Structure 1
Amino acid sequence: MRIAIGADEAGFTLKEIIKSYLAERGVEHVDFGPADSTQSIDYPDVGFAVAEEVVRGHYDRAILICGTGIGMTITADKVPGIRAALCHDTYSAERAMKSNNAQVLTMGARVIGSELAKHIVRAWLESEFDGGNSERKVQKIMEGEQRLAGTGVYTKEISSCSTHE
């Protein structure tokens, strides 16, 4: 299995810990940055780069880390074909793969500690998509994504909310 891993500067330290953990387990991985904790990098830049590489088939799965994990999740999920899951516990990480076939795991470095992060990564790596009833649901997600891609829904401006008087 080939894993792409990336972070912003808030996730740098946890990324380095997870890289070491992957190496200990013999999991091939490639680091998409940042190179050090002082390198300012916007999470969308890393999130899009990593998610696009997964969609292209260059990596089987990916791990993205930012301060909360939310920005990386939102970014990766904008890439058609990606299912990114924000996981801060092992059960969610397991279910992300088994029920949703989430190729991208996201975590928040300011939310969880390094030991829990390792357990989350292990649960996600050791899980496989179950298919079954979940396969039908994941297929619906992919069909909806394809249907919306050609409608311009993704590019419409969001109008300001009106107030009721």
Structure 2
Amino acid sequence: MKPKLGIASDHGGFALKEFLRKSLEESFEVVDYGTKSEASVDYPTIIGDACRKVLAGEVPRLIALCGTGIGASIAANRIPGIRAALCHDEFTAEMSRRHNNANVIVLGGRVLGTDLALRIVQKWIDTDFEGGRHERRLGLVEEQKP
């Protein structure tokens, strides 16, 4: 049985989402939360709904995309329990897992090429959380809730 991984995008991230979904399907059960075309949609709704699937335990982690990644990152991080990291390279993807235990990676569909995006996602998937002092720091972040 393949491990599950969620993916979601707005219209700006649709093309890269489709590439990543197809690339990852050999190793993962990729659950696609939309969007289903390049027709304009509201990223807060698509990304918010997909993040709630992570919190519900439907998928352990999510790849979220929009045109730049900025809107999807903002929308995801408004949801308590989501730790979304906007990543542009393999190092930030690695550190988002190692130090921040990011359960959502966010990518910009209009700013990343397909090969780099796939390498970023693979690094994120392959990296474990270190815990230790980082666990304490994540606790401090959780205390910042309004």
Once residues 36 and 68 of structure 2 are traced to their aligned partners in structure 1, the CA distance between those partners, rounded to angstroms, is 20
1:25-44 alignment, distance < 5 Å: 26-37=27-38, 39-44=39-44
Once residues 56 and 18 of structure 1 are traced to their aligned partners in structure 2, the CA distance between those partners, rounded to angstroms, is 23
Higher-Rg structure is 1
Amino acid paired to 2:62 = A
The reply on whether 1:137 has 2:111 as its aligned counterpart is no
The reply on whether 1:119 has 2:119 as its aligned counterpart is yes
Q: Which residue number corresponds to residue 152 of structure 1?
A: none
Once residues 29 and 18 of structure 1 are traced to their aligned partners in structure 2, the CA distance between those partners, rounded to angstroms, is 9
Percent sequence identity is 42
Shift of 1:143: 2.2
Cα offsets for 1:45-77 (capped at 9, x unmatched): 111001111111111000011000000000000
Once residues 130 and 52 of structure 1 are traced to their aligned partners in structure 2, the CA distance between those partners, rounded to angstroms, is 25
- TM-score normalised to structure 1 length: 0.84
Secondary structure of the equivalent of 1:72? helix
Cα offsets for 1:8-57 (capped at 9, x unmatched): 11111100000011113x111111111122x3211111110011111111
Q: Structure 1, unaligned stretches of length 5 or more?
A: 149-165
Amino acid paired to 1:11 = G
Cα offsets for 1:113-160 (capped at 9, x unmatched): 000000000000001111011111011111222xx2xxxxxxxxxxxx
Determine which structure has greater relative contact order: mean sequence separation of CA pairs < 8 Å that are 6+ residues apart, divided by chain length: 2
CA RMSD of aligned residues (A): 0.9
- How many aligned positions are there? 144
4+ aligned runs moved over 4 Å, structure 1: none
1:1-165 alignment, distance < 5 Å: 1-24=3-26, 26-37=27-38, 39-145=39-145, 148=146
Once residues 141 and 23 of structure 2 are traced to their aligned partners in structure 1, the CA distance between those partners, rounded to angstroms, is 32
- TM-score normalised to structure 2 length: 0.95
Cα offsets for 1:87-108 (capped at 9, x unmatched): 0100000100110000000000
